[in-house]
Amino acid sequence: MVAGEFRRWARAAGREPGAAETVLELLSIEFGVVDPGELEAGDLPDLLLDVCPDEVDPERIPDVLLAVYGLLDFAVDTGRLTSEQALGLRGEVDEVAPTVLTAGADDAELFAVDDELTEAELAALDGMDDELDLREVFGLPGRLPPLRLPGEHELARAARSSPLLDRARRFAAWVGEGRELADGGDLPADDAAAAAKDLGVDLAELAQLWDLGEEVGFLEVGVDAVAATEEVEGWVETDDDDVLQLWQFALASLLGRSLLTDQEQAADSRLEFSAAGLSFMALFLAREVGMPSAELSALVREAAVADLPQAEADGAWQQWVRDHGDPATVLYRRLAELGAVEIDGEVVRLTPLGLHAMWEQVSQSGVEVPLLPPVAEMTAADVVSVGAEGREESLDAEWEPWLASREPQAAARELLEVASAATQPWTRVAATALAARLGEAALDGWRAALDDPALRPYSKQELAELVGAAPELELQPDDVAWLLADSLTGVDEAYRPQELADYLAESVPEDAEEVFERLWRLDHPGAHEALTLIGRHHPDKKVAKAARKAAFKVVDR
């Protein structure tokens, strides 16, 4: 039996057999392959993508993949396959392995809590450590959509107006030149009560002001005394850059320490609040759309109860909420008083100050986040970059001011020039989509674009829409293939795979084999990527298989 021979080979080679018997059984039943020497191109991807999701427990998928690689090495060592044959089969497995390993998992959420990252995430938020790679910690891509920010002076003016920083300053002024500390390093009870009364806060908020004042340099805390520093009176008069830096220290303090201070005051350590500020990065990615308060609360709760048994988690969380309020609500109220977020009903958004702080940190970690120029200096390429990478809300905010500064015909010409010069398909898609918004004003531009091979399919579509169908405007199979390749190149297949599958089901018909045949022959840089994407994620197994076969032909072309 091949299975027994493989086990003996694996023991001698010091290899883990994985789920070899399962793989051999499925190959025999589904493909009639009773020996790895009989494997042909396409068998292993079909096994891993089409058969295993229905026949194998998701938890065993890594063992299946391990067994597949092992069987290929076994086949070479025992003379069943040549090294060249095995290399080709292994290449097919390498291509589908990322999809196989994530198949059956829930949609990836960028900020799902990972217990192993809690300390790193906390460090990212507490102190904004320049040496920490935020891109790696938070799984960020190499580039994020362009961002519009006010000038530094406007940002600094907002920072100087922070109610929370003003309250921390007033507390430091109340402390004055020096006050003795009680045992444990806190203000004596009488002093704390007097300070809270004078400032109009409770003792819990006074503890927050103490932490904040020390973090930003308003307070100098010694072994047995505390005193205000010179920063208290002069910080609003310092340079804009210094003001923004101090404000960012305050932001880091709130994100990293605020709820932990509440926990110390309450002497209740059951919940884990060290990663509560993690959701701030999610808000940065949400931009002007923001996030519902309920989602932020769910993120904080997930991190807080991660280490508790399920039987204890609900009770501990509910008890804390009854005694101290929802932690996310408390944290984001403080962030609003700092000036980092705005709360509009049930939706929370970052302010320009909050966006600027995170833009600096994310940029320093190696993620490119372009800043848009002033509206008067915006080019067609700038608008297209927002359309290609940003949210619809961001595009709407930039589109109207840009369009108002030029004639529609000129706007169409500029957009189609960007499309013609595009080096990336997604730029071409965005530029032509914006030109299509201009309707008849773009007619001359579309007619001229018929002579551009990369734009001809788009021109045919739009001209048929604007002037009516005509034989010369009918899309040919090559046109359809080109449009398909453009639309699927650069798609992030790891994000919301179900939405991707639904999109492919709608945009790629069941009888797409002819389009695939045209596509793999096209001189399009994204042909292989588009076909591979369809092969991995199209819900129709027949269509997916046809796309994979066409993708292999691109490699061999």
Output the pTM of the full model.
0.71
Q: Are 168 and 208 in contact, with CB atoms under 8 Å apart?
A: no
Q: Is the pLDDT assigned to residue 196 strictly greater than 80?
A: yes
CA distance 376 to 360: 24
Lowest mean pLDDT among 466-470, 505-509, 516-520: 505-509
CA distance 543 to 48: 16
Question: Domain boundaries in the chain?
Answer: 1-104, 153-272+291-332, 375-475, 482-556
DSSP-based three-state secondary structure for 432? helix
Neighbours of 406 (CB within 10 A): 13
pLDDT digit string, tens, across residues 64-87 = 888 888 888 888 878 888 878 888
CA distance 522 to 530: 12
CA distance 354 to 492: 27
pLDDT digit string, tens, across residues 152-181 = 999 999 999 999 999 999 999 999 988 999
For the segment 388-408, the average pLDDT, to the nearest whole number, is: 91
- Report how many helices (DSSP H) and strands (DSSP E) the chain contains, helices first: 30, 6
Query: What does the angle CA 179 – CA 183 – CA 187 come to, to the nearest 5 degrees?
Result: 35
Which pLDDT does position 495 carry in this prediction? 57
Q: Provide the CA 477 distance to its chain's centre, in angstroms.
A: 35
Helices (H), 32-82: 43-46, 52-55, 61-77
CA distance 158 to 153: 9
Which pLDDT does position 490 carry in this prediction? 84
pLDDT digit string, tens, across residues 96-148 = 777 776 654 433 333 333 333 344 444 444 444 444 577 777 778 888 999 99
DSSP string covering 504-517: HHHHS-TTTHHHHH
Determine phi and psi for 78, rounding to 5 degrees: -100, 10
Crossing angle for the helix pair 163-175 and 203-216, nearest 10 degrees? 90
CA distance 6 to 21: 9
pLDDT digit string, tens, across residues 371-387 = 999 989 999 999 999 99
DSSP-based three-state secondary structure for 390? coil
